[in-house]
């Protein structure tokens, strides 16, 4: 093999009978009965076993050997076959030479010949070589350390051309025999062919996966290759692809016993590395969860490996839940990876009679891995690698939802760690800490650590990061849903903090804040009906105008949340306005809104001025729907109130702002402002009449008709209907 890896040239073919003799000699050295010797082409095929029977007859024509022209295998220091030697009859002792001490290097010569044949021999020669080397390696695999890389390269080159069946199986046994003693060398030799993906390399990885004697060793080596690289380097990417090939083979996951948690976290962390955009030169395509063909990106390959790992360990339900909730897509997203990790760690087995998962997926399908998971997670929480640390924090936080986790770890230690995260300058760490505190405080169906939890959650409501505010609002809502929730305390604490969030510029914050208010009213319903809950009643009245106007919010979530909360308020305070509020929400009916205003003015006359002041602030809203809704609400509140219920200064201010709105570019807003301005002017005139002497006031009161009812045009804005909401057909 001139210029080959072995450093020696090969001028002639390798004879099949020589390889047969080598195999026979190995068996003889092991005390096995050797087949009858022969120096001609009629040698019986049993010398190589029954797997070789169909191929021995093809060896002579394939290599050009004639009867009596067998080629002897040289020792390590001899020349490989030359043309001159190939045509001279070999002396009789040439065959017997193979029965001398096999400890002196004959097996190494066999490895050299085999590598040469694998890289340069023809189709039939490779078949015979694979069969022979399979026997040799099973006997003396540990003696081939220096030849492993060459043998693996030869297999990569020749396996695709081997026929299906015995020849290919024999060649794959060569690789397994190598991996049994030289797993690290085999992995190092195969990894370069796994990136970009190579079909032959994929077949070799799968063959290693099917061999129960070696798959565990190979998986460990791939795990170290994945964890040893800092970032998505080529070795880590190649190891990820190799893991995907191996784990896809049924039964291979059982070989991960003992290091399953390490492999799981390594794959999840690798996704974080890839999600941040540090890709290899290969340009990946966008991955679709519905894709069923070969993956086209490193991220999708990692996801497939993760799916195979979970499925093989009995977590098929976890994989299904992740698909249904978009968890895999979140895992591969640059800005949503941590959400995907939280979902993976917090989705659960299905509850009875439920279509959705709730408790911990990791715990639901693999309680026995918890100790290993935490053993690997806890050191990662202090990792200098920021991505590794954040991934570990997210996984740790998600696992805190499960009761077995709380039983396994000391709560005091967890609580102190989560409180420490609140002092971290990175908002993401504080966000994960908030989520963890909420899980820890409520994972046993009762509220604990309230004195620690509440100050942290209330302080987070003033954060600028939307994730922190959303996490705090969500934790407060879950806290209210627990038995024995401190409703009065929360009402007092939320009264100055919650109303500003109802008008927050972020849609998700508005919707969550409105929903929290509805949950608070629902939990305090009994006290409100009895006339108690002073702080909560004040909070409801303070939030009433924002709730009515947010029925027309551009965010559908905020609008629906406002509708739900108003229904809770109507039920708790017994307004009897549920039908009117639903009509306003879905049909923007002026008549229904007029009845709502009339009832509110009757029930809370001392709050009318505050209602008008709040509504005035929405006249400058950037949303056309809110400006029009505020204008109409002012008109009806003014119409139903008495002259003594509003100050002259407020009326002057309202008249001025409504006058400016009459020039609004949106015609629906300008026309509504004109009608409402007339109502303000009429109320101001009625106030002047009330200041006249009693006699003239009596005469004028009976001389002038009552103020006319305001009439507004139908709203041109899109109305939400239950038919569209529930995907029902519109009535014909």
**% of residues, the chain, pLDDT over 90:** 37
Nearest to 367, CA basis, from 233, 261, 514? 261
Tell whether the model's pLDDT for residue 604 goes beyond 60: yes
Q: What mean pLDDT comes out for the span 169-174? A: 77
The region of weakest confidence among 345-359, 371-385, 392-406, 460-474 is: 345-359
Alpha-carbon distance of 132 to 110, in angstroms, equals 9
84 versus 134: which is more confidently predicted?
134
Residue matched to tokens 């927050």? 504
pLDDT at 67: 35
Which of residues 478 and 75 earns the better pLDDT score? 478
Q: Of 233-237, 239-243, 301-305, 698-702, where does mean pLDDT reach its minimum?
A: 698-702
- CA atoms of 454 and 460, how far apart (whole Å): 10
The more confidently predicted of residues 165 and 114 is: 165
How many angstroms from the chain centroid is the CA of residue 464? 25
Across all residues in the chain, what is the average pLDDT? 75
| Dihedral sign from CA coordinates of 606, 609, 610, 612 | positive
pLDDT attached to residue 71? 31
Least confident of 104-113, 187-196, 201-210, 318-327: 104-113
* pTM score of the predicted model: 0.71
Look at 278 and 330; give whichever has higher pLDDT: 330
Task: Return the higher-pLDDT residue of 497 and 132.
Answer: 497
Q: What is the mean pLDDT of residues 529-547?
A: 85
Per the DSSP assignment, residues forming a β-bridge with 134 are: none
| In contact, 193 and 180? CB cutoff 8 Å | no
Which range is most confident: 143-152, 275-284, 698-707? 143-152
The SS3 of residue 383 is coil
pLDDT at 477: 92
Task: Return the minimum-mean-pLDDT range out of 96-100, 379-383, 458-462, 714-718.
Answer: 96-100
Higher pLDDT, 251 or 516: 516
- Orientation angle between helical segments 450-460 and 411-421, nearest 10 degrees: 20
3-class DSSP state for residue 350?
A: strand
What is the rounded average pLDDT of the residues 116-133? 50
Q: How far apart (Å, rounded) are the C-alpha atoms in residues 691 and 72? A: 129
How confident is residue 6, by pLDDT bands cut at 50, 70 and 90?
A: very low
Q: 89 falls in which pLDDT band (50, 70, 90)?
A: very low
The helix/strand/coil state of 499 is: helix
> 51 is written with which tokens?
């797997």
Classified as helix, coil or strand, 357 is strand
Looking up tokens 């570990």 gives 392
Within 13 Å and on the Cβ side, how many CA atoms surround 445? 2
Name the nearest CA neighbour of 401 among 362, 370, 434, 359: 359
pLDDT over threshold 60, residue 358: no
pLDDT > 60? residue 380: yes
User: Which stretch of 41-55, 281-295, 561-575 has the lowest confidence by average pLDDT?
Assistant: 41-55
Measured CA to CA, the distance from residue 421 to residue 428 in angstroms comes to 10
Determine contact, residues 243/358, Cβ cutoff 8 Å.
Answer: no
Rounded alpha-carbon distances, angstroms, from residue 210 to 249, 253, 255, 336: 7, 11, 10, 36
Of 648, 619, 650, residue with least CA distance to 633: 619
């Amino acid at each position: 093999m001139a210029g080959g890896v072995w450093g020696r040239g090969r001028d002639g073919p390798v004879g099949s009978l020589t390889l047969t003799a080598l195999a026979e000699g190995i068996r003889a050295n092991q005390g096995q009965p050797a087949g009858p010797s022969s120096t001609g082409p009629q040698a019986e095929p049993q010398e190589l076993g029954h797997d070789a029977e169909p191929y021995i007859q093809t060896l002579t024509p394939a290599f050009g050997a004639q009867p009596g022209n067998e080629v002897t295998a040289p020792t390590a220091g001899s020349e490989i076959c030359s043309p001159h030697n190939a045509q001279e009859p070999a002396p009789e002792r040439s065959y017997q030479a193979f029965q001398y001490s096999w400890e002196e290097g004959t097996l190494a010569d066999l490895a050299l010949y085999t590598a040469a044949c694998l890289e340069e021999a023809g189709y039939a020669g490779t078949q015979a070589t694979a069969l022979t080397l399979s026997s040799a390696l099973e006997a003396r695999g540990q003696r081939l350390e220096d030849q492993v890389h060459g043998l693996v390269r030869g297999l990569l080159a020749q396996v695709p051309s081997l026929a299906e069946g015995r020849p290919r199986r024999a060649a794959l046994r060569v690789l397994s025999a190598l991996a049994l003693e030289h797993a690290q060398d085999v992995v190092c030799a195969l990894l370069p062919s796994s990136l970009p993906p190579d079909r032959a390399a994929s077949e070799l990885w799968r063959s290693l996966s099917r061999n129960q004697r070696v798959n565990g060793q190979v998986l460990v080596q791939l795990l170290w290759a994945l964890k040893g690289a800092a970032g998505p380097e080529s070795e880590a990417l190649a190891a990820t692809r190799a893991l995907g090939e191996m784990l896809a083979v049924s039964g291979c996951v059982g070989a991960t016993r003992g290091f399953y948690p390490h492999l799981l976290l390594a794959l999840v962390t690798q996704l974080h590395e890839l999600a941040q955009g540090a890709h290899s030169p290969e340009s990946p395509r966008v991955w679709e969860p519905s894709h069923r063909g070969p993956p086209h990106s490193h991220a999708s390959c990692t996801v497939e490996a993760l799916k195979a790992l979970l499925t093989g360990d009995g977590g098929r339900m976890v994989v299904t839940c992740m698909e249904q909730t978009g968890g895999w897509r979140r895992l591969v997203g640059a800005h949503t990876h941590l959400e995907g990790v939280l979902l993976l760690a917090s989705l659960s087995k299905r509850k009875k009679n439920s279509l959705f998962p709730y408790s911990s997926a990791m715990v639901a399908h693999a309680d026995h891995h918890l100790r290993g998971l935490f053993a690997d997670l806890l050191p990662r929480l202090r990792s200098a690698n920021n991505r590794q640390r954040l991934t570990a924090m997210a996984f740790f936080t998600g696992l805190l939802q499960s009761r077995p986790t709380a039983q396994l770890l000391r709560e005091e230690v967890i609580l102190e760690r989560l409180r420490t995260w609140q002092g971290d300058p990175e908002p993401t760490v504080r966000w994960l800490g908030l989520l963890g505190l909420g899980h820890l405080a409520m994972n046993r169906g009762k509220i604990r650590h309230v004195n620690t939890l509440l100050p942290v959650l209330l302080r987070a409501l003033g954060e600028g990061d939307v994730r922190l505010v959303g996490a705090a609002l969500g934790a407060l809502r879950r806290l209210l849903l627990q038995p024995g929730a401190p409703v009065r305390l929360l009402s007092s604490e939320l009264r100055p903090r919650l109303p500003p969030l109802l008008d927050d510029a972020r849609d998700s914050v508005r919707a969550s804040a409105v929903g929290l208010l509805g949950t608070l009213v629902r939990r305090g319903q009994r006290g409100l009906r009895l006339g108690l809950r002073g702080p909560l009643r004040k909070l409801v009245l303070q939030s009433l105008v924002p709730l009515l106007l947010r029925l027309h919010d551009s965010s559908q979530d905020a609008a629906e949340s406002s509708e739900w909360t108003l229904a809770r308020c109507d039920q708790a305070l017994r307004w009897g306005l549920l039908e009117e509020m639903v009509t306003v929400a879905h049909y923007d009916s002026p008549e229904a809104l007029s009845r709502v205003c009339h009832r509110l003015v009757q029930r809370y006359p001392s709050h009318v001025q505050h209602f008008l002041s709040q509504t005035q602030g929405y006249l400058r809203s950037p949303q056309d729907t809110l400006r029009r809704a505020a204008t109409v609400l002012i008109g009806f509140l003014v119409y139903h109130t008495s002259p003594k219920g509003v100050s002259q200064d407020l009326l002057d201010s309202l008249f001025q702002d409504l006058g400016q709105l009459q020039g609004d570019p949106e015609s629906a807003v300008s026309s509504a402002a004109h009608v409402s301005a007339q109502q303000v002017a009429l109320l101001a005139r009625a106030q002047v009449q009330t200041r006249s002497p009693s006699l003239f006031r009596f005469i004028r009161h009976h001389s002038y008709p009552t103020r006319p009812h305001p009439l507004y045009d139908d709203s041109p804005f899109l109305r939400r209907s239950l038919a569209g909401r529930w995907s029902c057909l519109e009535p014909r």
